[in-house]
Amino acid sequence: MRSFIVPVAGVVLFSAICVAQEFSLVRSGLAPASATGQPCPPAPPKLEAAADLPAEAKALLTAYKAEVDAIRQKAEDEVQTKGERLAVTLKTVQDQYTRDAKLDEAVAVRDLIRRLTAAHLPVRPNPGNLTSFREQIGQTFYFEVAGRTTGSLYGTEVYTHDSDLATAAVHIGALKNGESGIVQVTIVASPSEHVSSEQNGVRSTAWGTYSGSYTVQRWVGTRAK
């Protein structure tokens, strides 16, 4: 069985890495879609087993798919790791420019770090509230949100899962009203009470324990582990 799979592994790995790197560069704005170097080799074909395919052939195909999926995941993980390492190195460059009072250069490097890291983030659109995520306690998610002050909001620092995310982002200071950005949300167990407060032009409502809660902060370029 191995003899059928191994000859294609190198091609699959090279293709997967190439596609992953190209996608990351384009998504992060580090390169236009038409200028990412030499074209990637074609990806392996998507093969489906026909109903009349013999059992032995089906087994070979299943093993092939499993190995290709593993290779692709490994390539994506390697590209992400390289990007994160580059971001760490760039941070030292940014810090040096800051110490040298070269603020324009420091800001430019900071923006590059954010674009580079954002390329590896699974950023989702604003879900409105976190009700559909409330069971995933301990999990962290990233959302692109435009801050506002008019949504329903319960709590301070920890918000009920049905609280409006865009309003919570302004209340906690992660975004300004009308400002768009990426926020980092962590699903947490409900505290015994959600406290009312007025912050950044938003007043939240008090509530007792609830069926789920979340915290929110502005994403600053470091992916949660």
Chain segment 23-74, per-residue pLDDT in tens: 444 444 555 444 445 555 555 566 666 678 899 998 998 899 999 989 988 9
Per-residue pLDDT at 18: 56
CB-count exposure of residue 31 (10 Å: 0-12, 13-18, 19+): middle
CB 195 within 8 A of CB 178: no
Whether the predicted pLDDT of 135 surpasses 70: yes
CATH topology for the 123-218 domain: Ferric Hydroxamate Uptake Protein; Chain A, domain 1 (2.170.130)
Whether the predicted pLDDT of 143 surpasses 90: yes
Per-residue pLDDT at 113: 83
CA distances 19 to 76, 124, 148, 204, Å, are 9, 21, 37, 45
* Lowest-confidence region among 67-71, 168-172, 218-222: 218-222
* DSSP code for 205: B
CA distances 93 to 101, 113, 222, Å, are 13, 11, 16
pTM: 0.57
Q: Report the alpha-carbon distance of residue 217 to residue 96 in Å, rounded.
A: 27
Q: Percent helix, strand and coil across the chain, each rounded to 5?
A: 45, 20, 40
Other CB atoms within 10 A of residue 160 CB: 27
Q: Report the alpha-carbon distance of residue 221 to residue 118 in Å, rounded.
A: 7
Task: Say which residues have a Cβ less than 8 Å from residue 136's Cβ, sequence separation at least 6.
Answer: 187
User: What confidence tens digit (pLDDT) does each residue in 94-125 have?
Assistant: 999 999 999 999 999 988 887 887 777 788 99
Which ranges in the chain are annotated with CATH 2.170.130.20? Answer: 123-218
